[in-house]
Chain A
């Protein structure tokens, strides 16, 4: 037998994440409710439906179920070429209710990092029997991410202080597909190549937080997340890589200068580099803080004692990595509204966030993230 290595067809350098926002282990959704997203995350430390500050659930001690849907409409521009894509996300679901003596409990499921993308590239290969060029399409696809399953309890001590804590279980999977398809005019000449892989994550953490309301028009909040260990297993292999869940701390300020007007500011810092040990590539992680400011305004009246809430906000936050020496950040502008439905028994929140990510290597990426959240108080 003689093997002739005739040629090595490299249709292109292909793979992984063909955009700025889903590099590394994925895009940090922020773990924010639709309501918080409407103000660019500024209310995250005070919002009972955002699994950020465990103490916040004590501020709304009704039994409630919240879930939301956040599709992202992304545009990536390279030179004069624009490419649009849509990613569907269900980043948050939560059920919460009251406990005795001012207490509250919540079970939440939220996406810490979403790694959903698909990259396709086409090239031409020589069909040696037909003397023609056939189109070869290579596709890399990933879906899933690392999720945060958290059990939270909090107690309110009077109207001015609440303290909470939570236990976090980080779990999830990246389902990966590598596919090669050749399109030609003659059937049965080519077969599709498909390789599947999966990355399974398991980790733990803990969270704590506090909210203060020293005076009626002022609120203060602070929270942290302690990151425990996280492991990743590739497929059904025995080898496991170990890393650490990113630590996080943040604080917020809430002002209520007028009836029906809330203004908030928030700072949040995350230690993404603790995930580096899980990876194999040379992607550089970055730690850093982001800020946001926003307002929540009581809008037009909707029936008796019900108001449409209008929200607006803006901010800037880091994404977890550095690309080509450039720290990647995202500048957000958002707006939204909350509509009470069925009396006060449910609320439909809708927000739209415009994300402008750092331009790097000539790639300019912008996205609109629509968020639709429904809160039901049975």
Chain B
């Protein structure tokens, strides 16, 4: 009997079965523990309390960012909690306009001005107020003094003699509306034209101080940021050579942009000071038993870990959690929360100061450390998972890559919100930071 078809069929069947088996599926476990003796795999759970800088060196580092590098201009007026105003420098007011007759262009220097305005845009998403019905008003003052950034001197200029103008009152809920595209977010403040013209015809240096407040309820607070780029704040006035009385109809809109010309000895600072926040009442006072994050100016918390080598170097940590006990802060505005970001420090031990180390942060979320949202007024323990950092620290000497983390807010200088936790110097030891580690010990396994 010739059975070629059967042979082919069997061959194909065998090949098919073999191919099926190629997808190896080893997993088992139903016979455990009776047939899995001797190799117990245990997850250890240890909580380490941080006492006086060991095993964690914890401290607050100020201030971030450099003055003028905030990227926005914060205005905050929250009674008894925050008073942050804005300074804008227009140190080269434009004092002429180009006038072309036929093909000849002549620079004309106005002797008359009217309709002097300060225009700026606010970040609508940043607008917070006690109530949506609050009427927000902006006040502008002349803060031109020889004291470049001295808070007390500049703050004293926010008075009636130096008053330059104010906006109309704007409903907070309208300012905050980020859903309706046609809602006006550009604020126009009519300035004292005579004062502006005097500046234009004088040293051309106009330095404005701006403050926001709730006009209809002085006990309410407001907080927002001003856009400092695209569009940046600018000054505009209408200039002409003579008054309309003399029938001179040649007039132009003249604009001036932000510019700083002092301090002349520091060009970097000079550029930064085109706009900067003036923290009249800003961050909490730092204390040895406190870890403060955020505020104005913003602080960071630096933590350098010296966790037990028996865990970090020889075990596999599956979860590492930093637990900080809060020092609840009085509420600034209803619903206030602050997002705290955990950044690894990428520096060797050659960087010896916390202030230096806090600058060695990656620009990206290198270790996938998640942020934590906290309410500064809350009494709940804040937990920061940093096992991904621990994984990266493992098997790398602490001298090459210090086992350090920084807690910060984003953007720094963009909010007056701050949060505070008890440090390792807290008198009540239960309130000191704790680190909870869950880990699996390395064991000699596999020898039957």
B residues neighboring A (CB under 8 Å): 1-4, 6-7, 10-11, 14-15, 17-18, 21-51, 54-55, 308, 316-319, 321, 368-370, 383, 385, 387-388, 390-391, 436, 438-440, 442-448
- Asked if residues A1 and B54 are in contact (CB atoms below 8 Å), the reply is yes
By a CB distance below 8 angstroms, the chain A residues around B55 are: 1
- Asked if residues B448 and A71 are in contact (CB atoms below 8 Å), the reply is no
By a CB distance below 8 angstroms, the chain A residues around B15 are: 372
By a CB distance below 8 angstroms, the chain A residues around B45 are: 5-9
- Asked if residues A372 and B18 are in contact (CB atoms below 8 Å), the reply is yes
- Asked if residues B387 and A14 are in contact (CB atoms below 8 Å), the reply is no
Contact with B along A94-123 (1 / 0, CB 8 A): 000000000000000000000011111100
Tell me which of B25, B27, B391, B443 has the highest count of chain A C-beta atoms within 10 A of its own C-beta.
B27
Closest residue of chain A to B44 (Cβ to Cβ) is A8
Q: In the complex where A2-B49, A189-B387, A339-B10 touch, is A20 in contact with B35 (Cβ < 8 A)?
A: yes
Residues 127-142 of A contacting B (Cβ, < 8 Å): 128-129, 136, 138-142
Closest residue of chain B to A363 (Cβ to Cβ) is B31
In the complex, A300 has a CB within 8 A of chain B: yes
Q: Of A49-57, A81-89, A202-210, A264-272, which binds chain B?
A: A81-89
- Asked if residues A280 and B447 are in contact (CB atoms below 8 Å), the reply is yes
By a CB distance below 8 angstroms, the chain A residues around B27 are: 85, 118-120, 139
Residue in contact with B28 in the complex, picked from A6, A13, A19, CB distance below 8 Å? A19
15 contacts between A and B (CB under 8 A): A4-B48, A6-B45, A10-B43, A11-B42, A14-B41, A17-B35, A18-B35, A118-B26, A180-B318, A188-B385, A192-B318, A199-B446, A348-B11, A360-B35, A372-B15
In the complex, A69 has a CB within 8 A of chain B: yes
By a CB distance below 8 angstroms, the chain A residues around B33 are: 12-14
A17 to B27, CA, bound (A): 11
Contact with B along A166-205 (1 / 0, CB 8 A): 0000000010101010100011111111110111000000
Closest residue of chain B to A235 (Cβ to Cβ) is B444
- Asked if residues B28 and A85 are in contact (CB atoms below 8 Å), the reply is yes
Q: In the complex where A120-B27, A199-B447 touch, is A301 in contact with B387 (Cβ < 8 A)?
A: no
A9 to B439, CA, bound (A): 10
In the complex, A356 has a CB within 8 A of chain B: no
Please count how many residues in chain A sit with their CB below 8 Å of the partner chain's CB atoms.
98
- Asked if residues A9 and B42 are in contact (CB atoms below 8 Å), the reply is yes
Closest residue of chain A to B21 (Cβ to Cβ) is A71
* Total contacts A-B at CB 8 Å: 271
A262 to B440, CA, bound (A): 58
- Asked if residues B32 and A119 are in contact (CB atoms below 8 Å), the reply is yes
CB distance from B287 to the nearest CB of A (A): 22
By a CB distance below 8 angstroms, the chain B residues around A188 are: 368-370, 385, 387-388
Residue in contact with A88 in the complex, picked from B11, B24, B369, CB distance below 8 Å? B24
By a CB distance below 8 angstroms, the chain A residues around B34 are: 78, 361-363
- Asked if residues A16 and B37 are in contact (CB atoms below 8 Å), the reply is yes
- Asked if residues A301 and B31 are in contact (CB atoms below 8 Å), the reply is no
Counting from the closest, the 4 A-B pairs by CB-CB distance are A15-B39, A71-B21, A193-B316, A13-B33
A179 to B93, CA, bound (A): 69
CB distance from A339 to the nearest CB of B (A): 5
Contact with B along A276-291 (1 / 0, CB 8 A): 0011111100000000
- Asked if residues A14 and B388 are in contact (CB atoms below 8 Å), the reply is no
Residue in contact with B41 in the complex, picked from A11, A73, A77, A83, CB distance below 8 Å? A11
Q: In the complex where A301-B2, A308-B3, A337-B10 touch, is A19 in contact with B35 (Cβ < 8 A)?
A: yes
CB distance from B316 to the nearest CB of A (A): 3
- Asked if residues A193 and B36 are in contact (CB atoms below 8 Å), the reply is no
In the complex, A253 has a CB within 8 A of chain B: no
- Asked if residues A14 and B445 are in contact (CB atoms below 8 Å), the reply is no
In the complex, A322 has a CB within 8 A of chain B: no
CB distance from A64 to the nearest CB of B (A): 19
Q: In the complex where A4-B47, A15-B41, A83-B28 touch, is A308 in contact with B36 (Cβ < 8 A)?
A: no
By a CB distance below 8 angstroms, the chain B residues around A189 are: 319, 370, 385, 387
In the complex, A25 has a CB within 8 A of chain B: yes
Q: In the complex where A16-B448, A199-B446 touch, is A119 in contact with B28 (Cβ < 8 A)?
A: yes
By a CB distance below 8 angstroms, the chain A residues around B51 are: 1-2
Give me 11 other A-B pairs in contact (C-beta within 8 A), A17-B35, A300-B2 excluded.
A2-B48, A2-B51, A8-B44, A9-B45, A13-B37, A71-B17, A117-B26, A118-B26, A189-B319, A197-B445, A372-B15
Q: In the complex where A4-B46, A180-B41, A370-B21 touch, is A18 in contact with B32 (Cβ < 8 A)?
A: yes
- Asked if residues A13 and B32 are in contact (CB atoms below 8 Å), the reply is yes
Residue in contact with A81 in the complex, picked from B2, B6, B30, CB distance below 8 Å? B30
CB distance from B394 to the nearest CB of A (A): 10
Q: In the complex where A4-B49, A86-B23 touch, is A361 in contact with B29 (Cβ < 8 A)?
A: no
Residue in contact with A18 in the complex, picked from B22, B29, B391, CB distance below 8 Å? B29
- Asked if residues A119 and B49 are in contact (CB atoms below 8 Å), the reply is no
In the complex, A23 has a CB within 8 A of chain B: yes
By a CB distance below 8 angstroms, the chain A residues around B39 are: 14-16, 140
In the complex, A218 has a CB within 8 A of chain B: no
Closest residue of chain B to A362 (Cβ to Cβ) is B34
In the complex, A323 has a CB within 8 A of chain B: yes
- Asked if residues B38 and A24 are in contact (CB atoms below 8 Å), the reply is no
By a CB distance below 8 angstroms, the chain B residues around A117 are: 26, 28
Residue in contact with B6 in the complex, picked from A3, A17, A20, A308, CB distance below 8 Å? A308
A19 to B3, CA, bound (A): 41
CB distance from B440 to the nearest CB of A (A): 4
By a CB distance below 8 angstroms, the chain B residues around A178 are: 41, 440, 443, 445-446
Closest residue of chain B to A83 (Cβ to Cβ) is B30
- Asked if residues A86 and B31 are in contact (CB atoms below 8 Å), the reply is no
By a CB distance below 8 angstroms, the chain A residues around B7 are: 302, 308, 339
Tell me which of B31, B383, B388, B443 has the highest count of chain A C-beta atoms within 10 A of its own C-beta.
B31
In the complex, A378 has a CB within 8 A of chain B: no
A90 to B431, CA, bound (A): 61
By a CB distance below 8 angstroms, the chain A residues around B36 are: 13-18, 119, 140
By a CB distance below 8 angstroms, the chain B residues around A278 are: 447
A109 to B179, CA, bound (A): 73
Tell me which of B26, B49, B387 has the highest count of chain A C-beta atoms within 10 A of its own C-beta.
B26
In the complex, A48 has a CB within 8 A of chain B: no
- Asked if residues A69 and B40 are in contact (CB atoms below 8 Å), the reply is no
CB distance from B153 to the nearest CB of A (A): 47
- Asked if residues A84 and B31 are in contact (CB atoms below 8 Å), the reply is no
- Asked if residues B40 and A15 are in contact (CB atoms below 8 Å), the reply is yes
Closest residue of chain B to A118 (Cβ to Cβ) is B26
In the complex, A325 has a CB within 8 A of chain B: no
CB distance from B11 to the nearest CB of A (A): 6
- Asked if residues A372 and B41 are in contact (CB atoms below 8 Å), the reply is no
